[in-house]
Structure 1
Amino acid sequence: MRTSKDEGVLLYAFTCGYITLPMSFFLDGEPGKAKVPACVFLIDHPNGLVLFDTGFSDRFVGMEKGLGKIVDMPKGESVADRLRALDIDPARIDYVINSHLHIDHAGGNALIPDATIIVQEPEWDFGMSGEDTAYDLQDFDTGQSVKRIAGDHDLFGDGTVIIFPTAGHTPGHQSVRVKTATGEAVLAADCCNMRRSLDEMHLPDHCYNVDQYRGSLEKLSQLRRNGAQIFYGHDPDFWAMVPQAQALDLSGPGTI
């Protein structure tokens, strides 16, 4: 972890559970199924600790019925466990940025008791409406402080952690640009499931809004052309190359 503020912004990656779904859920028309990770990131900024998404709730540990048939949540892989392994008390986290409020992205929110949750306003409203069973109120309606934003948001006011809307998968999906000393990362989450999603402009078989989804992919494509490294939301092959629980080195094109 950080030894001095001179280190700038540090970025860490964790796996907090897995889910198995039809491949078409990620890439329309693809056969078979895929077991994909729930990807979580810790942003260590000199002025605060931030999580991007929180993976699955620890209520899924050991579950063999219901969603337990498709959710694999090994013991010791909750976001709180991942933080403690780095000697970070979960109560030290200042902010949780939820890309959206589905169960594999907001499930660990309650384990981060003192954080302010940052979410796009349309996402919060849609999640609270009960229209979509992929949202579970026990994951995100926890009594924590919620900051509902509209559009771009510079979290620390210095250009290093920029939240920006990437709607399409859900009404208020958002992604984050993180500038570290070694490069820029874009934490895409479900606006870009796989590397192939971006390489081929290949949408999933389900979108809240197809035009918005395509527009979000085009936005990511431009960022990638400008040198940012995209961290795809649910790509098991890509994720296998991402070092876990250590500061990521983003130097050079294609490092990750």
Structure 2
Amino acid sequence: MRQATAETGVLVYAFTCGYITLPTTYFIAGGEGKTKVPACSFLIDHPDGLAVFDTGFSDRFVGLEDGLGKIVDMPEEHPIAVRLEALDVDPGAVQWIINSHLHLDHAGGNRMLPNATVIVQEQEWDFGFAGEDGAYSTQDFDIGQTVKKVRGEHDVFGDGSVTVFPTPGHTPGHQSARIRTATGEAVLAGDCCNFRRSLDEMKMPENVYNADHYRGSLESLSSLRRAGARIFYGHDPDFWSTVPQATELNMATIQS
């Protein structure tokens, strides 16, 4: 991969880091049957350093066929460290992990980026230890890494090109990322917007932490999309199949 410079601006790469199969209502109200969805991760190459937005499932799920292995599919080439190494990126060189939230399909690979500082909303970090939600596994994120707990918007590199902003509802401290590239603006939504249909129809999952907050987050994304941003939906298998993997993304070609 080419390296980001002042001339190229920020470069973004997408990876699938495992799959999970759940009732479709987990992702959108009224959904039928079950849906196998990707765990989505992104490498953000900034001239001043590397960041990863969400780290997918842990490599402990590779080859697992019982327990969560019945619903989680983690091919051996999918852990975030393996994905990065395939691009000749040293996982130890990643400076920042931006966790949209700390569920096991979003923070499972954190430990594979050993030198990174985790950027997470303070409310999310605290809730991850509360024991109220079984989708949190502290063995994924309570691992001794430096943690930068933020409140509200945060400018990661200090130049406005990579900004995290709160999008609560799925969890109390969920956040998304807005990225300015030479080819357009990207919004990495995470689980505040699972499917394209979620935004098109303003439809939430059947069970959310806070419905009013979730609806407000969808409205914020809708405004960004109307302004021209490319939304990367958190778990949409149809949309994700159109996103080039492990290659530099051109936002002008993303149909969101």
TM-score in terms of structure 2 length: 0.98
Matched, 1:146 2:147: yes
2:136 aligned residue: 135
SS in 1 for 2:35: strand
Measure how far apart 1:2 and its partner are: 2.7
Residue 210 to residue 3, structure 1, CA distance change in 2 (3 Å)? closer
Amino acid corresponding to residue 137 of structure 1 in structure 2 = T
Question: Following superposition of structure 1 onto structure 2, how do residues 90-239 of structure 1 map, counting pairs within 5 Å?
Answer: 90-239=91-240
Amino acid corresponding to residue 2 of structure 2 in structure 1 = R
Describe the superposition over 1:217-240 as per-residue Cα deviations: whole angstroms up to 9, x where unpaired. 000000000000000000000000
Describe the superposition over 1:186-240 as per-residue Cα deviations: whole angstroms up to 9, x where unpaired. 0001000000000000110111000000000000000000000000000000000
Tell me which moved more, 124-133 or 230-239: 124-133
Describe the superposition over 1:27-47 as per-residue Cα deviations: whole angstroms up to 9, x where unpaired. 112110000000000000000
Matched, 1:251 2:252: yes
CA distance in 2, matches of 1:3, 1:120: 29
CA distance in 1, matches of 2:10, 2:3: 12
Q: After TM superposition, what 4+ stretches of structure 1 lie above 6 angstroms from structure 2?
A: none
Contact 2:153 2:166 in 1 (8 A): yes
In structure 1, stretches of 5+ residues that fail to align are: none
Amino acid corresponding to residue 13 of structure 1 in structure 2 = A
Measure how far apart 1:56 and its partner are: 0.1
Contact 2:95 2:115 in 1 (8 A): yes
SS in 2 for 1:129: coil
Describe the superposition over 1:26-84 as per-residue Cα deviations: whole angstroms up to 9, x where unpaired. 11121100000000000000001000000000000000100000000011110000000
Amino acid corresponding to residue 2 of structure 1 in structure 2 = R
Contact 2:177 2:189 in 1 (8 A): yes
Amino acid corresponding to residue 112 of structure 1 in structure 2 = L
1:69 aligned residue: 70
Contact 1:98 1:106 in 2 (8 A): yes
CA distance in 2, matches of 1:4, 1:214: 36
Measure how far apart 1:4 and its partner are: 5.5
CA distance in 2, matches of 1:146, 1:130: 20
Measure how far apart 1:128 and its partner are: 1.4
Residue 174 to residue 197, structure 1, CA distance change in 2 (3 Å)? same
Amino acid corresponding to residue 92 of structure 2 in structure 1 = A
1:30 aligned residue: 31
SS in 2 for 1:7: coil
2:44 aligned residue: 43
Contact 1:22 1:32 in 2 (8 A): yes
CA distance in 2, matches of 1:46, 1:189: 24
CA distance in 2, matches of 1:87, 1:3: 11
TM-score in terms of structure 1 length: 0.98
In structure 2, stretches of 5+ residues that fail to align are: none
* C-alpha RMSD of the superposition: 1.0
Matched, 1:2 2:2: yes
Percent of pairs identical after alignment? Answer: 67
Amino acid corresponding to residue 182 of structure 2 in structure 1 = A
Contact 1:249 1:255 in 2 (8 A): no
